[in-house]
Amino acid sequence: MPRGNPSPKLAITIDPEIHEDILAASAREGVSVSAWITTAAREALLRRKGLAAVALWEKQHGRLTAEEMEEARRSVRRQLRMSRAMRRPA
């Protein structure tokens, strides 16, 4: 009998060229295909939640202005630079 909380298994079908890209990406990152797919799904779900939150906010407060969108882009770029810098090996 398995210990702990075993992860559920999925059987999926994907396009052959995407399959090759996933295999290459997971190998480059040094993770299993399962870990790579889990991370990709987690990120996609997080993006969807974020977009839903923005849509709700806009429904309640009106559309974001061009200035607000530009500030958001600058903020995201800063965060990405910081994140990449933190991941670089010393």
Average pLDDT, consecutive stretches of 10 residues, N- to C-terminus, the chain (90 residues): 78 94 97 96 96 96 96 95 80
In the chain the first and final C-alpha atoms are separated, in Å, by 43
How far is the C-alpha of 86 from the C-alpha of 83, rounded, in Å? 5
pTM of the model: 0.70
Q: What is the pLDDT of residues 52-76, one digit of tens each?
A: 999 999 999 999 999 999 999 999 9
Contact at 8 Å (CB) between 25 and 17? Answer: no
